[in-house]
Amino acid sequence: MTKGRPVPDYATLAKTIQSLTEGEDDTVALMATVTCEVHHSDDRFDWTGFYRVTGPEMLKIGPYQGGHGCLQIPFARGVCGAAARTGQVQLVADVDAFPGHIACASSTRSELVLPVKNAAGDLIAVFDIDSDQPDAFSQGDADALSAILRDVFMRP
């Protein structure tokens, strides 16, 4: 349970994603599959998707599920930019209290953003999960999802 709510069965989710992505090396196909499986694994996940590193200090929207997202996010702005800039997971209980938060959707109350690296250790994207519930995410969510992302994107 997370904050009184059931959490996804991350072990099963990881196995499902591993099975669906085995042998695939196209990054966009991998992102689309991960997004779909994670988004539908928990009703806390209101918007789920990737922002890809497309140039110096710039993220652009990649595969996602949910309403429209921001098309571009500079590393210098918002929760996604902070994850890209620092290489650290951003676990935000209240987006209104996050300095420089970008409101891509007015319904977002909390956010979890995880850096995504490839096998060479290069930042290729951030994985963004928004919730319309305040304080929706835990460190357990961050740890489980980080492990899934490593398994998929850091394959040799």
pLDDT digit string (tens) for 90-107? Answer: 999 998 788 776 777 677
Strand partners, 128: 49, 113
Hey, where are the domains in the chain? 10-153
User: DSSP strand E in 14-70: where?
Assistant: 47-55, 58-65
For the CA atoms of 68, 72, 78, 79, the dihedral, rounded to the nearest 10 degrees, stands at 70
Give the tens place of pLDDT for each residue, 23-72. Answer: 999 999 999 999 999 999 999 999 999 999 999 999 999 999 999 889 99
User: DSSP strand E in 84-146: where?
Assistant: 90-92, 110-117, 123-131
What pTM, to 2 d.p., does this model score? 0.93
Closest CA to 9 of 42, 49, 43, 46: 42
DSSP structural state of residue 62: E
> According to CATH, what is the number of the domain 10-153?
3.30.450.40
